[in-house]
């Protein structure tokens, strides 16, 4: 079966969604399907003197695109991602000129990435810009044409879109739904009309797809609220095992940290991760536990409020809070391996893949009893009932920090929890989902 994956999130570099996309691609490839990806970068000048060299150029652009998203457009045409270039593409009707390229792994360089899991990719210039800007008719017209032209059997969208089953002709359509955060959570960004835009995408997906896949029972329940007859399957996510050969780095020394003597948080630093209340809770007990709080991740929506909260803390507390920003995979796993515990009091998650990472690295986890987090933490995590209450967060940290036996039990239970979220089990759930639509 020829499967085409559609994911505008590649251009936005959304980590969680792209992680699920990679798992979906691996699952499809493992079953022997012909797997492809729709890419949306502009149509550059072909190197007409040599078909082989031109093919290599296509592969280089693909790799830039997958690693850098929209910013890679600057490698292809001057101005890259701009309204002017999109307008030119429309006026010249270049957006109709899709091209399918068979992936030749000999033409790929660097470490293993998503591109090495693909059999083909289809280039449709600026397709995702039409999609995310809600050019609904244009997006639907384009997907209909390219599905027919390239003889696609199944289209899988890695996140909700306005593409409908009627837009893919005789092919089948599946959507993966991660959460409903944009229109249910005040901590979600309202910029660019995100709540309304996502509501359109979500509704279209759950009412116009042959198959819906979700990463938790919580999300599946939200789908059923809107469409009780939806064919929805819960795939969960996959636990990301730490690389076996990654050496310990010097980040502990660089940040003045001691092994097993700091608290760890990793994720985008944004409103819904509840970092302001985490900082308040930590400030209540910083002198009692005598351990730094390490916050790993880049800034997201509401980061200015997190900064303001940090500045409001006493100098003694501020001196024990470490902001690392983005870190390498090696640094991340060094921090995981040496922390005492993982503290993640988020107010909402579609599943919480980072909890799996913590448990795989033998960390006890403190998280909140909200959304799908209890599905991720199982009976291994220590739950905060009210994540908006800093004292409850503080009490949880003190309890886990002062009880070695509790931490040992949490780690042991964590190993059992993550065993439910392996790639093999994800693949089995994925295959069962495809069977429901006769694929």
DSSP string of 168-220?
GTTSEEEEEE---GGGT-TTS--GGGHHHHHHHHHHHHHHS-SEEEESSHHHH
* Number of C-beta neighbours around residue 370 at 10 A: 23
Take residue 274 and report the two structure tokens written for it.
Answer: 């509840």
Instruction: Tell me the per-residue pLDDT of 85-134, one tens digit each, with 9 for 90 and over.
Output: 777 777 767 777 899 999 999 999 876 688 999 999 999 988 988 888 78
Instruction: Give residue 81's pLDDT band: very low, low, confident or very high (50, 70, 90).
Output: low
Q: What pLDDT is recorded for position 436?
A: 96
Question: For all residues of the chain together, what is the average pLDDT?
Answer: 91
> Are residues 346 and 267 in contact, defined by beta-carbon separation less than 8 angstroms?
yes
Residues 6+ apart with CB under 8 A from 54: 46, 47, 48
Residue 19 — very low, low, confident or very high, per pLDDT cuts 50/70/90?
A: confident
Residue 36 has pLDDT above 90, yes or no: yes
Identify the band that residue 241 occupies on the pLDDT scale cut at 50, 70 and 90.
Answer: low
DSSP 42: -
pLDDT level of residue 186 (50, 70, 90 thresholds): confident
Burial of residue 50 (CB within 10 Å: 0-12, 13-18, 19+) is exposed
Return the top range by mean pLDDT from 19-28, 242-251, 279-288: 279-288
């Amino acid at each position: 079966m020829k499967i085409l994956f559609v994911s505008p999130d590649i251009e936005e570099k959304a980590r969680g969604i792209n992680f699920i996309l990679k798992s979906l691609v691996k699952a499809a490839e493992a079953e022997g399907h012909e797997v492809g990806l729709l890419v949306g970068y502009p149509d550059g000048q072909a190197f007409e003197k040599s078909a082989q060299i031109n093919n290599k150029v296509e592969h280089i652009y693909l790799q830039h695109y997958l690693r850098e998203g929209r910013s890679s457009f600057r490698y292809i045409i001057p101005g890259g991602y701009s309204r002017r270039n999109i307008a030119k593409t429309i006026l010249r009707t270049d957006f109709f000129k899709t091209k399918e390229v068979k992936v030749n792994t000999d033409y790929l360089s660097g470490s293993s990435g998503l591109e090495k899991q693909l059999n083909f990719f289809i280039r449709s210039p600026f397709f995702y810009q039409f999609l995310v800007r809600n050019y609904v008719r244009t997006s639907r017209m384009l997907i209909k044409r390219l599905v027919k032209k390239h003889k696609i059997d199944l289209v899988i969208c890695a996140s909700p879109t306005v593409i409908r089953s009627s837009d893919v002709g005789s092919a089948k359509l599946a959507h993966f739904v991660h959460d409903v955060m944009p229109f249910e959570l005040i901590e979600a960004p309202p910029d660019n009309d995100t709540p309304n835009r996502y509501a359109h995408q979500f509704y279209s997906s759950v009412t116009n797809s042959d198959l819906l896949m979700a990463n938790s029972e919580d999300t599946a329940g939200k789908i059923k609220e809107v469409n009780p007859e939806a064919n929805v399957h819960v795939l969960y996510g996959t636990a990301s095992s730490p690389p076996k050969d990654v050496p310990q780095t010097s980040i502990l020394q660089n940040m003045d940290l001691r092994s097993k003597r700091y608290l760890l948080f990793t994720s985008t630093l944004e409103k819904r991760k509840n970092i302001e209340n985490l900082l308040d809770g930590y400030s209540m007990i910083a002198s009692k536990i005598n351990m730094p709080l390490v916050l790993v991740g880049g800034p997201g929506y509401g980061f200015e409020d997190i900064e303001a909260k940090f500045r409001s803390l006493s100098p003694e507390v501020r001196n024990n809070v470490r902001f690392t920003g983005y870190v390498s995979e090696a640094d991340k796993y060094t921090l995981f391996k040496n922390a005492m515990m993982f503290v993640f009091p988020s107010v909402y998650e579609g599943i919480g893949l980072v909890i799996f990472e913590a448990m795989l690295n033998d960390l006890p986890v403190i998280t909140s009893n909200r959304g799908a987090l209890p599905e991720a933490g199982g009976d291994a995590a220590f739950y905060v009932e009210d994540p908006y209450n800093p004292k409850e967060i503080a009490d949880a940290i003190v309890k886990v920090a002062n009880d070695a036996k509790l931490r040992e039990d949490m780690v042991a239970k964590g190993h059992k929890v993550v065993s439910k979220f392996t790639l093999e089990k994800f693949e089995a759930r994925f295959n069962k989902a495809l069977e429901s639509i006769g694929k």
